[in-house]
Amino acid sequence: MDSSEDEHGVVRVAAIDIAKASGVVCLRLPHDTVDGRHTQQVWGVDATTRAICDLADQLVCHGVQRVVMEATGTYWKPFFFLLEARGLDCWLVNARDVKNVPGRPKTDRLDAVWLAKLAERGMLRASFVPPRPVRRLRDLTRTRAVLVQERTRHKHRVEKVLDDAQLRLSTVASDVFGVSGRAILDALVAGQRDPHALADLARGRLKAKQAALEQALTGQFDDHHARLVALLLATVDHLTAQVADLDQWIDQALREAPTTTGPGQPPLPHQALADLLDAVPGVGPTTARVILAEIGADMNRFPTPGHLTSWAKLCPRTVQSGAKHTTGPAGPGNPWLRGALGEAATAASRTRTFLGARYRRLVKRRGHAKALVAVARSILVIVWKLLSAPGTRYHDLGPDWHQRHLDPARKARDLVRQLEALGHHVELAPTT
């Protein structure tokens, strides 16, 4: 047991109630003479680098080994990172777990004292805060996701401008911003209005739709629409260039991240781990980077796959009262990780693999949404196993795995039960 803890919890603890520009610190230490008693100090501190560094020195001088703070927006980051850099053991806790007793007065001072007492008695759980290299990778992947979303919004605005000009290009071309679509948009901005000349710009399979394309490009596109489309296309191109720069920075961050060593396995860089995850059906290079940025490469923080799926909120919450056992909503979880896993599950559901077969088995009984969540959970379990033992490789079980491991007696019982539910009487006899 650590020297800073006894059988009841933490002995020397500090808690910080954080606001935007300041924080309230509560320091609780063992009493010098009375056994079992604690002394308590509460004071305010500014949320500036110098003030937080002075606070770190003061806490180190008092022998504090655990500093607890509530996750308040992004205001906790300066306190957490600066105190952590000073060698203090910092815990970030969920606001839901540290709510005060209802009906009690609420002030920043009382909140800091309450938080310190909870930490002192070992009644808190630390939230997952990745190390600094993973945090930097996370900043890049999240910024990339935001820029891609913004680029998609501007593409939709271009389609709205075309609809306003009575040009139905999206009804003929599956991708308005493909090679053919972009050539037509550039020609419209340059002043071309002839539907036949615009339809001649089609390439590939779209060239076979010449007549339909001419009909779709017959409208009332004027200079006003051209100015709007030119502005939106310039923004789309600018965002595309920024996304390309971020892709290069993400690759560099993966190469510079510390290597990961599994038990009995050689160390692997983060780029090699991303390549391992890329082999999973539905997980492409971009999704693999997002997964590494959100959960990191060290699975010691998640002892089992169940811990990881529970943290990601991909499993139902158990609700038990008396003899009644039900399930409740899992909660929002990490939106960046859930979004990436949702896209991976959607892609995997269309493949002839074990994950695709799993989706097709579940969608009949549970519906599309729940089947996708189940596939996303399976993908996350596979990710945990690959990262826990980096020397392993993914091997697909095949789309017929369930059929090969099917219990014939159980399948027969299910089919008989279905026929009896339809009003039939079934008697089974073995074939000769």
Two structure tokens written together for 10: 């933490």
pLDDT tens digits, residue range 50-107?
Answer: 999 999 999 999 999 899 998 888 899 999 999 999 999 999 998 877 776 676 788 8
Nearest alpha carbon to residue 38 among 14, 60, 65, 17 = 14
Task: Spell out the domain ranges in the chain.
Answer: 5-120, 134-254, 266-388
Distance, CA of 348 to CA of 405 (rounded, Å)? 21
Band of pLDDT at residue 261, cut at 50, 70 and 90: low
Specify the CATH architecture of the domain 5-120: 2-Layer Sandwich (3.30)
Give every strand in the sheet of 13-18, ordered side by side.
38-46, 22-30, 13-18, 66-70, 89-93
Query: What pLDDT is stored for residue 146 in this prediction?
Result: 97
Contacts of 27 (CB under 8 A, 6+ apart): 13, 14, 40, 41, 42, 59, 62, 64, 116
What one-letter code names the amino acid at 334? Answer: N
Band of pLDDT at residue 139, cut at 50, 70 and 90: very high
10-19, 85-94, 262-271, 281-290: the lowest-pLDDT one: 262-271
More confident residue, 200 or 324: 200
Pairing state between β 5-6 and 22-30: unpaired
Query: What average pLDDT score do residues 35-48 get?
Result: 90
Two structure tokens written together for 183: 């050539």
Query: What pLDDT is stored for residue 331 in this prediction?
Result: 76
Buried b (16+ CB within 10 A) or exposed e, 97-128: ebeeeeeeeeebebbbbbbbbbbbeeebeeee
Band of pLDDT at residue 2, cut at 50, 70 and 90: very low
Nearest alpha carbon to residue 47 among 74, 68, 65 = 74
Is 289:305 a contact under the CB 8 Å cutoff?
no
Q: What is the DSSP letter of 268?
A: B
Band of pLDDT at residue 3, cut at 50, 70 and 90: very low
Is 377:309 a contact under the CB 8 Å cutoff?
yes
Q: What is the DSSP string of 59-126?
A: HHHTT--EEEEE--TTTHHHHHHHHHHTT-EEEEE-GGGGPPPTTS---HHHHHHHHHHHHHTT---P
Distance, CA of 423 to CA of 426 (rounded, Å)? 10
- Which residues are registered as beta bridge partners of 39? 29
Placement of tokens 């996750």 in the chain: 71
Strand, coil or helix: 163: helix
Is 87:60 a contact under the CB 8 Å cutoff?
yes
- The helix or strand, by DSSP H or E, that contains position 422, with its residue range, turns out to be none
Strand, coil or helix: 396: coil
Distance, CA of 71 to CA of 36 (rounded, Å)? 30
Taken as a whole, the chain contains a residue count of 432
Query: What pLDDT is stored for residue 10 in this prediction?
Result: 75
Distance, CA of 122 to CA of 66 (rounded, Å)? 11
Nearest alpha carbon to residue 341 among 286, 263, 396, 302 = 286
Average pLDDT of every residue of the chain: 89
Q: How far is CA 11 from CA 3, 30, 98, 116, in A?
A: 9, 7, 19, 11
Whole-prediction pTM: 0.84
Half-sphere exposure of 223 (CA within 13 A, CB side): 0
pLDDT tens digits, residue range 335-373?
Answer: 999 999 999 999 999 999 999 999 999 999 889 999 999
Two structure tokens written together for 31: 């009493």
More confident residue, 250 or 37: 250
Placement of tokens 């560099």 in the chain: 252
Query: What pLDDT is stored for residue 260 in this prediction?
Result: 63
pLDDT tens digits, residue range 117-137?
Answer: 988 888 888 888 988 889 999
pLDDT tops 80 at residue 427: yes
Query: What pLDDT is stored for residue 266 in this prediction?
Result: 62
Distance, CA of 96 to CA of 183 (rounded, Å)? 53
pLDDT tens digits, residue range 182-235?
Answer: 999 999 999 999 999 999 999 988 888 888 999 999 999 999 999 999 999 999
Pairing state between β 89-93 and 66-70: parallel
Is 219:166 a contact under the CB 8 Å cutoff?
yes
Sign of the torsion angle spanned by Cα atoms 331, 333, 335, 337: negative
pLDDT tops 50 at residue 321: yes
Query: 36: alpha, beta or left, given left = phi > 0 and alpha = psi -120 to 50?
Result: left
- The helix or strand, by DSSP H or E, that contains position 307, with its residue range, turns out to be helix 305-311
Query: What pLDDT is stored for residue 6 in this prediction?
Result: 47
Band of pLDDT at residue 429, cut at 50, 70 and 90: confident
